[in-house]
Amino acid sequence: MKAVADTHTAIWYLWKPENLSPEATAVMDESANAGERIGLSSITLCEVVYLAEKQRIRSDAFELFLEAIYAPDGIFEEVALDSGIISLMRNVPLSQIPNMPDRIIAATALFLKVPLITKDREIRNSNIPTVW
């Protein structure tokens, strides 16, 4: 796994790639072309359901994400939230990243020892290795 994508990055990669930075696009495209997957925290799937219910993204987004995860050539791989990731949330400063889903996603990247692809300024200004 080359990196972890946060929720907005994953949504933009699938439906609005023009919102991604050139560096984020390059990392994701290189991964896809090499047959490598980008990690996707389980909390991102929760956020996708929530955003679809609020009609902020397409109503079939969750199903399309599952396709992107389970397709043999899919770009994403779900990373289940477990005690190892939860433990590393303590290394994600609450003062820098107060949003709990963001902390879980950042801890997922720390757990996998890969950068987090994110536009989120709070995360990029923290101690979490990022790509944008």
Q: In terms of pTM, does the model score above 0.75?
A: yes
User: Exposure of 22 by Cβ count < 10 A (0-12 exposed, 13-18 middle, 19+ buried)?
Assistant: exposed
- Segment 29-58, tens digit of pLDDT: 999 999 999 999 999 999 999 999 999 999
- 71: containing domain: 3-131
- CATH number assigned to the domain comprising residue 58: 3.40.50.1010
Instruction: Give the integer Cα–Cα distance in Å for 127 and 122.
Output: 10
pLDDT of amino acid 34: 93
pLDDT of amino acid 19: 97
For 20, list phi and psi in degrees, rounded to 5: -85, 150
Instruction: Give the integer Cα–Cα distance in Å for 102 and 123.
Output: 8
The answer to whether the beta carbons of residues 47 and 39 sit under 8 Å apart is no
- Segment 89-128, tens digit of pLDDT: 999 999 999 999 999 999 999 999 999 999 999 999 999 9
Per the structure, how many domains does the chain have?
1
pLDDT of amino acid 37: 95
Mean pLDDT of 13-19: 95
Residue 30: both structure tokens together:
């290189």
**Amino acid symbol at 21:** S
Instruction: Give the integer Cα–Cα distance in Å for 49 and 53.
Output: 6
Mean pLDDT of 56-72: 95
pLDDT of amino acid 129: 97
Mean pLDDT of 62-88: 95
